[in-house]
Chain A
Amino acid sequence: MHIGHYISGAGHVGLIGLVFFGGVFQSDPPPFEVTGVSVVTTEEFDALRAGEHSPLPNTDVDIPVAPNLSDTAPDMTSSVDPDLDQGAPDATENAPPDETPDLSDLTAPQPSEVTDTSPTLAPPEPEMAVLIPRDTTRPMARPETRVAPDPVAAPEPDTKIDDIQRDATTPDQSASETVQDAQEATAPEAATTEIVTEAKEQVALAPRASVRPVLRPPQRTRADTSNKAKAGADAAVAAALAEEAAAPSGPPLTRGEKDALRVSVQNCWVVDVGSQAANVTVTVAVTLDQEGKVAGPVTMLEASGGDDQAIQTAFGAARRAVLRCQRGGYKLPIEKYDHWREIEITFNPEKMRLK
């Protein structure tokens, strides 16, 4: 152990010596420019400055000569100009009397009617004090007949809401030769997100109570590692491998693709919240072709929460939702067809029930 200390100490000493005496931290000075300087005497400097003095004043200026004035006054005679002698005018004894002009043909101009209307001026804005209400209520949503998860603002008054929903036309690059009449896009129907009853209209929207938070689930106990658990693990391995072999190949649908499908169907799922069918949760099976269209009948797999009549009504609403919103086919990635050929959709109206 001491040998190691000695080796280490010697090494450190050598390193410190190299730092101080080996010029490790020395470096070349930065480059600089050199300019030549000449030394002059005081006389030479004064001589150089002599040419910079201001000019001396010049007193040799010519004095102007006064004019020569005579004492005799100038000749002031005048003469008549013969060209201006025109004689007096001849007087006439029978001068014709002044005739009064005949004004019978002339009609007096009628005074035009001039209405003296004062220009209309906009009344000046009165200076008003603005009273700010003490209590302000939040703006309430306009009542709409349609209640949907996504609110849609009411369209402009001149916008037509048609019974037939049309998509806006888009230029088709592959069929540019075909001239097609432009179609008017149908405005989305206005929707609100909740049922606003008359009693709710003046009530603030802020929630007065919130749902009690869910209790934290109990902590799991440590896994049993006995022989029984080992046997279970073997069975799990076998089941996992078997199901993996049966699973469709390729990557599964992403969360976004699943959400897009879900939103497509839910926009057509009409729920009658006041009916008994609103208590029914129903699961249906759907088979899609490669274009995303429903192939074959929509079948009910299971239902719960109501009597037979309510279940049939709930199933009918679910089936209509699937069939209505397929239109040209659900937009799903064709390369993942194996994953969405068979779909099970659960329609659960629990969140929409009247409470």
Chain B
Amino acid sequence: MMRLFATLLAGLMVLGQLAAAQSGPLRIEITEGVIEPLPYAVPDFVAEDGGAKDYGAQLARVIAEDLNGTGLFREIPAKAHISQITNFASPVQFADWKAVNAQALVTGAVSVSGNNLEVKFRVYDVFAGQELGNGLRFKGTTEGWRRMAHKVADAVYSRITGEGGYFDSRVVFVSETGPKNDRKKRLAIMDYDGAGLQYLTDSSTIVLAPRFSPKGDKVLYTSYETGFPRVFILDVGSVKRRALEDQDGTMSFAPRFSPDGKSVLMSITQGGNTDIYRMDISSGRQTQLTNSPGIDTAPSYSPDGSKIVFESDRSGNQQLYVMSAKGGEPTRISFGQGRYGTPVWSPRGDLIAFTKQNKGRFHIGVMRTDGSEERLLTASFLDEGPTWAPNGRVIMFTRETQGAKGSSSLYSVDVSGRNLKKIRLNGGASDPSWSPLQ
């Protein structure tokens, strides 16, 4: 009897499940999509007066170059457009943009009054038939039109991807000229895309490893002008500089700002031992954070300032370690084959970028902050010195070619490993450091 009852119960339960499966809406789950650039259109911005015509086209081109350069967007050329944007206030013909498979549309207008430039724009989700966010307006000078284009591109990028952009940012780096055995180096600064190049120092002395402050107004770097490596701090606006650490018999290098910009991490070599120190910028007071017989160097703060990642050879091989920002016993996080160095914490806080040398090749890679999920993004004769874009999405680094005539260049790569590309620059370049968004 009990058996019969149990069988009946099970049958009823199955019947119930079948009925439930067939009732209500149809449910499907999609687990595999496609990874491809999102097609979009950015027609020339409407010139609202005669003097703005050239700016309308130039703004659209810079915006398109910014978006296309991410590898996440693909511009639909103007010759394929069915609709023409002739009035910024006119309603958008979504059917025409759907027909050319534009998923996003950027429209804008520009006007010039004397030396002042005004740019306004809107972003549309074409297939939803609605605007993404509200229209936005920027005002500036005609000399700053390119930066205004970067700002528009940042806003477009942010509205479509949901993340911050990185187009209105700059990069400080070491400009290199001359042959390998007599290379001249000086600090230079440029827009993220290589435009607007300016030099901050002359080439009379060797300079290394510049690092932007969190606000982008100051630069730390290492100079050999005293014969020994010394850390200097430079004001970008006035180009004035001073040595941060000038204790006799010591060498200081590999500096990096804290997230609040009030202190600096650096390596100091004393008595043949290299450890990591924190220095308060205003008072000059130093605090030793590591104390091991090995070489501890290349420190980098986590975005919240609570932890520090650095490289050390205390285990006999160059590896990555994480410790509290107050010092203490570090935890090793890299265990793969080869040597790890120059770790940099992502602005998002989720990843650490590093340089890896293994089997005669150099790689730029990323790993979780606990050392898991290591992924190598590049491979070449010499890749080193990663720096993160302000949004934590792109990594810029130095790539040097092989041979006596080899030269250094700057490259960038998406954190997914896609979209590896060379930064357009005249001459050699190394040691990039990305500024925050301006």
Query: Residue B30 at the A interface, CB < 8 A?
Result: yes
Query: Residue A310 at the B interface, CB < 8 A?
Result: yes
Q: Is the CB of A270 within 8 A of B38?
A: yes
Over the window 23-47 of chain B, the binary record of Cβ atoms lying under 8 Å from chain A Cβ atoms (1 yes, 0 no) is: 1111111111111111100000000
Q: Is the CB of B36 within 8 A of A146?
A: yes
- Contacting B28 at CB < 8 Å: which of A165, A258, A319, A351? A258
Q: Is the CB of B127 within 8 A of A243?
A: no
| B415 CB contacts on chain A under 8 angstroms | 274, 354
| A343 CB contacts on chain B under 8 angstroms | 25-28
Query: Within the complex, what minimum Cβ distance (angstroms) separates B194 from chain A?
Result: 21
Select from chain B the residue with minimum beta-carbon distance to A346: B29
Q: Is the CB of B12 within 8 A of A270?
A: no
Which parts of B233-274 form the interface with A (CB within 8 Å)? none
Q: Is the CB of A321 within 8 A of B33?
A: yes
Which parts of B1-27 form the interface with A (CB within 8 Å)? 2, 5-6, 8-10, 12-13, 15-16, 19-27
Select from chain B the residue with minimum beta-carbon distance to A194: B35
- Complexed CA–CA distance, A246 and B20 (Å): 10
| A195 CB contacts on chain B under 8 angstroms | 35, 416-418
Q: Is the CB of A163 within 8 A of B393?
A: no
Select from chain B the residue with minimum beta-carbon distance to A196: B417
- Complexed CA–CA distance, A18 and B6 (Å): 58
Query: Within the complex, what minimum Cβ distance (angstroms) separates A191 from chain B?
Result: 7
Q: Is the CB of A324 within 8 A of B418?
A: no
Q: How many A-B residue pairs have CB under 8 A?
A: 216
Count class of interface residues, chain A: 35 or more
- Complexed CA–CA distance, A350 and B30 (Å): 10
- Complexed CA–CA distance, A195 and B376 (Å): 12
Known contacts A198-B420, A276-B163, A324-B127; A258 and B26 CB within 8 A of each other? yes
Query: Residue B288 at the A interface, CB < 8 A?
Result: no
Query: Within the complex, what minimum Cβ distance (angstroms) separates A130 from chain B?
Result: 29
- Complexed CA–CA distance, A165 and B98 (Å): 11
* From A229, A244, A347, residue with most partner B Cβ within 10 Å: A244
* Contact segment of B99-107, B141-149, B202-210, B400-408: B99-107
- Complexed CA–CA distance, A345 and B27 (Å): 6
- Complexed CA–CA distance, A252 and B13 (Å): 20
| A309 CB contacts on chain B under 8 angstroms | 162-163
- Complexed CA–CA distance, A65 and B101 (Å): 119
Query: Within the complex, what minimum Cβ distance (angstroms) separates A267 from chain B?
Result: 7
- Complexed CA–CA distance, A164 and B24 (Å): 36
Q: Is the CB of B379 within 8 A of A240?
A: no
Q: Is the CB of A346 within 8 A of B27?
A: yes
Which parts of A328-355 form the interface with B (CB within 8 Å)? 339-352, 354-355
Q: Is the CB of A240 within 8 A of B28?
A: no
Q: Interface residues of B, CB < 8 Å — how many?
A: 65
Subset of 8 A-B contacts with CB under 8 Å: A145-B37, A148-B36, A199-B363, A199-B376, A233-B8, A233-B9, A233-B13, A258-B26
Known contacts A164-B100, A273-B35, A320-B103; A348 and B25 CB within 8 A of each other? no
| B37 CB contacts on chain A under 8 angstroms | 145
- Complexed CA–CA distance, A119 and B274 (Å): 77
- Complexed CA–CA distance, A103 and B36 (Å): 89
Q: Is the CB of B99 within 8 A of A164?
A: yes
Query: Within the complex, what minimum Cβ distance (angstroms) separates B102 from chain A?
Result: 8
Query: Residue B377 at the A interface, CB < 8 A?
Result: yes
List 15 extra interface pairs beyond A198-B379, A240-B12, A265-B28, CB under 8 A.
A148-B34, A191-B36, A197-B375, A197-B376, A243-B23, A262-B28, A267-B34, A269-B34, A275-B161, A320-B103, A320-B125, A344-B28, A345-B29, A347-B30, A347-B33
Query: Residue A303 at the B interface, CB < 8 A?
Result: no
Query: Residue A290 at the B interface, CB < 8 A?
Result: no
Query: Within the complex, what minimum Cβ distance (angstroms) separates A3 from chain B?
Result: 42
Query: Residue A78 at the B interface, CB < 8 A?
Result: no
Query: Residue B128 at the A interface, CB < 8 A?
Result: yes
| A269 CB contacts on chain B under 8 angstroms | 30, 33-34
- Contacting B16 at CB < 8 Å: which of A225, A239, A246? A239
| A148 CB contacts on chain B under 8 angstroms | 34-36
- Complexed CA–CA distance, A343 and B393 (Å): 35
Select from chain B the residue with minimum beta-carbon distance to A146: B36
Select from chain B the residue with minimum beta-carbon distance to A165: B101
Query: Residue A237 at the B interface, CB < 8 A?
Result: yes
* From A197, A243, A244, A316, residue with most partner B Cβ within 10 Å: A197
Listed from nearest, the 3 A-B pairs whose CB atoms lie closest are A197-B417, A313-B162, A240-B16
- Complexed CA–CA distance, A58 and B187 (Å): 134
Chain A residues close to B by CB (< 8 Å): 145-149, 163-165, 189, 191, 195-202, 223, 225, 229-230, 232-233, 236-237, 239-241, 243-244, 246-248, 252-253, 258, 261-262, 265-277, 285, 309-310, 312-313, 316-317, 319-321, 323-324, 339-352, 354-355
Select from chain B the residue with minimum beta-carbon distance to A297: B128
Q: Is the CB of A344 within 8 A of B16?
A: no
Q: Is the CB of B35 within 8 A of A147?
A: yes
Q: Is the CB of A243 within 8 A of B16?
A: yes
- Complexed CA–CA distance, A270 and B162 (Å): 14
| A324 CB contacts on chain B under 8 angstroms | 101, 103, 127
Q: Is the CB of B32 within 8 A of A352?
A: yes
- Complexed CA–CA distance, A271 and B34 (Å): 6
Query: Residue B378 at the A interface, CB < 8 A?
Result: yes
Q: Is the CB of B32 within 8 A of A247?
A: no
- Complexed CA–CA distance, A170 and B420 (Å): 42
Q: Is the CB of A236 within 8 A of B13?
A: yes
Q: Is the CB of A247 within 8 A of B23?
A: yes
Q: Is the CB of A243 within 8 A of B30?
A: no
Q: Is the CB of B34 within 8 A of A313?
A: no
| A285 CB contacts on chain B under 8 angstroms | 25
Select from chain A the residue with minimum beta-carbon distance to B132: A316
Query: Within the complex, what minimum Cβ distance (angstroms) separates B133 from chain A?
Result: 11
Q: Is the CB of B35 within 8 A of A270?
A: yes
Query: Residue B72 at the A interface, CB < 8 A?
Result: yes
Q: Is the CB of B31 within 8 A of A348?
A: yes
Q: Is the CB of B162 within 8 A of A277?
A: yes
